[in-house]
Chain A
Amino acid sequence: MIAELVIFIILGTVAVATGVAVILSKNPVHAVLFLVINFFSVAMFYLVLSAQFVAFLQILVYAGAIMVLFLFVVMLLNLTGAIESVQDKLPAQKWVGLALGIALLLEAGVVTAAGVFRQVPAAPPPSPNFGTSAPVGVKLFFDYLLPFEVTSVLLLIAIVGSIVLARRRTY
């Protein structure tokens, strides 16, 4: 129990810190690299939750394929100069956002400290092969077959949409 808590705190710190670093980095390449670390720490979360299969998918798909794509795009576009020249038209909103964010954090802290979240009943321990590829596959192709199929429509839309928007030839 204690070990789990320690791991959670370490992973949580890394995830939050890298997440903040992603949006604070001025250099897009640094931001993308912080995102890789963030994805890895999220994958570790999945491992702690005994969802091994999802953890490895997270590393393969996000930290692997998608991040490489990101890096390619960032390097091809060479955005460094463009970012510096972006002007914030509403500088006040930064402070309003900060104030609201702190208020939300305080609220969440007070609610948590008051102990209301302890009402949540503890989940039963997972079955021995929980989180391996077999039960995930069975879930996906039996209980969640329809969402799985609908995803194909979603991908079709994404393909058609990106081609339409990116194609050079105009009509």
Chain B
Amino acid sequence: MRIPVDPSDWLILIPEFILLGTAIAILMIDAFAKAASDRSSPWISLAGTAGAIVAAVFLWGNPLSGFGGMIVNDDFGVLVSTAILTGTALAVLISVDYVRREELPAGEYYALILLSTIGMLLMVSSANLIMIFLSLEVLSIALYVLTGFARMRPRSQEAGMKYFLLGSFSAAILVYGVALIYGATGTVDLQSIADELISPGVLGNPVLLAGAGLVLVGLGFKVAAVPFQMWTPDVYEGAPSTVAAFMSIGSKAAAFAALVRVLIFAMGGLRPEWLAAVWVIAALTMTVGNLVAIAQDNIKRMLAYSSIAHAGYILVAVAAANRLGLQSIPFYLIAYAFMNLGAWAVVTAVTRKGEEAVGLSDYSGLFWSHPVLAGSMGLFMFALAGIPPTAGFTAKIYVFMAAVAADMIGLLIIAIVTTIISAYFYLRVTVIMFMERPAEPPVVTVPTPLAVAIAVAAAGTIWLFLFPGVTQSFTDTVARLL
């Protein structure tokens, strides 16, 4: 009798199990003690997320593989998981008062956030195309529901529906790609695909190329790369701000991890073939994201285009596919988790009930009534623009260095030019906050959990600039995977 799995295989899944247990506990409390659940579920989910972070860090430096190579635990995965869990923890913190204010069902909200995080973590450690697809579905379906969570707001419902339809199409395209790759190589295991690619007959197989292209489209949708970005602004605008914050980190980081595993680890031998596609997508993503962001008057839409643009910079590192590129991806994602969630936290503070006050004009003169809040927003805007002394600067420098090392000067020039363009709309927010004097000061309340989230995000943004070496030494071990 064969034993289905080695008991030690479950070790890799400890973070996921902690989150699953927490989510089920929240659902149970919600079912049997409604009043207690509304108060306690954010703190329970925060504790669960913290436990998952501890478990993920505990797995650091233990290269493990389980379930017949279905999932792996490597240092790359641990770093990206840390970025995702940081995003989840901060998203939970900024949700505490938001969920109460918008009168959303608390138990289900936090349970779905945690369940979606499970999908993200699984996607990061997937070493099999079937697992990548399944975990993508786990994280996406929870996000579709969360996007349409504010049922009383038609905008939220519309966004949820739009995201669901387009997301289902992109998932179908991904599965089609997986099927073609299976047809060409006879396997869905990433390591076996890498082994298959050594034989020249497989390498030039058009079925394999078509499959790789379709997988690139499916994952490109998730990271919001141009031209698969159509959904992003509408979904970010319609979704509850806290959900938009959560998905801008988590689903992007998870999809990038899968992209790295498929394109670099499994299909590294195919790089001459996919490089042109990734090059064009990266260039388009940076250009369109930053240029269209300039025209936005709604801060949520602006941040949506900003998240598209940032996907472009990370794609530059993917295209480079060298040691530096591989190092810069986790660093960029962690830095992005801090600076982007910080910006969304401030947005959550400024918006009023029913997602009102999301125009840029609502930030006018914020500094004069709320200097600390406006100051942190300024910091996050500097970070997103890539201006020192912030983590955004360091992250961009790493990506640029990766592009130089890979001899991709054309892409590097596009990246630098679009970074300069992006400074315009990031700094415009700062100018509006500091230079303008409104007739009446904006009504803004900053509850304690939100303030803590902003403080943590700000500290992380500066800390990663001052001590990039800490993460640098971690990412060094990641580079050895190549």
Q: Which chain A residue lies CB-closest to B67?
A: A146
Contact partners of B108 in chain A: CB under 8 A: 160, 163-164
* Residue in A120, A123, A154, A156 whose beta carbon sits within 8 Å of that of B137 in the complex: A154
Known: A165-B145, A171-B105. A116 touches B67 (CB 8 A): no
Q: Number of B interface residues at 8 Å Cβ cutoff, please give it.
A: 45
* Residue in B128, B144, B207 whose beta carbon sits within 8 Å of that of A161 in the complex: B144
Known: A147-B130, A147-B131, A160-B27. A154 touches B138 (CB 8 A): yes
Among A117, A121, A145, A157, which residue has the most Cβ atoms of chain B within 10 A?
A: A157
> What is the CA–CA distance of A141 and B111 in the complex, to the nearest angstrom?
28
A158 at the interface (CB under 8 A from B): yes
Known: A116-B206, A142-B2, A171-B103. A150 touches B145 (CB 8 A): no
Contact present for A157 and B145 (CB under 8 Å)? yes
> What is the CA–CA distance of A111 and B209 in the complex, to the nearest angstrom?
13
* Residue in A144, A156, A164 whose beta carbon sits within 8 Å of that of B130 in the complex: A144
* Residue in B2, B71, B151, B204 whose beta carbon sits within 8 Å of that of A146 in the complex: B71
Q: Which chain A residue lies CB-closest to B66?
A: A146
Write 27 A-B pairs (CB below 8 A) sorted by A numbering.
A117-B207, A119-B205, A120-B207, A123-B186, A141-B4, A142-B4, A145-B4, A145-B5, A145-B67, A147-B70, A147-B128, A150-B131, A150-B134, A150-B138, A153-B119, A157-B145, A160-B27, A160-B108, A160-B111, A160-B112, A160-B115, A163-B108, A164-B108, A164-B145, A165-B148, A165-B160, A170-B103
Q: Which chain A residue lies CB-closest to B108?
A: A164
Contact present for B104 and A171 (CB under 8 Å)? yes
Q: Number of A interface residues at 8 Å Cβ cutoff, please give it.
A: 28
Q: Which chain B residue lies CB-closest to A142?
A: B4
A sample of 14 more A-B contacts (CB under 8 A), given A116-B206, A157-B112, A160-B112, is A119-B201, A120-B184, A121-B201, A142-B4, A144-B70, A144-B130, A146-B5, A146-B70, A147-B128, A153-B115, A154-B138, A157-B145, A161-B145, A170-B103
Contact present for B122 and A150 (CB under 8 Å)? yes
B118 at the interface (CB under 8 A from A): yes
Q: How far is the CB of B202 from chain A (nearest CB, A)?
A: 9
B68 at the interface (CB under 8 A from A): yes
> What is the CA–CA distance of A123 and B186 in the complex, to the nearest angstrom?
9
Q: How far is the CB of B38 from chain A (nearest CB, A)?
A: 9
> What is the CA–CA distance of A171 and B108 in the complex, to the nearest angstrom?
12
CB within 8 Å of B: which A104-124 residues? 111, 116-117, 119-121, 123
Q: Which residues of A contact B (CB under 8 A)?
A: 111, 116-117, 119-121, 123, 141-147, 150-151, 153-154, 156-158, 160-161, 163-165, 170-171
Q: Which chain A residue lies CB-closest to B19?
A: A153
Q: Which chain A residue lies CB-closest to B138?
A: A154
Contact present for A165 and B151 (CB under 8 Å)? yes
Contact partners of A120 in chain B: CB under 8 A: 183-184, 205, 207
> What is the CA–CA distance of A164 and B113 in the complex, to the nearest angstrom?
13
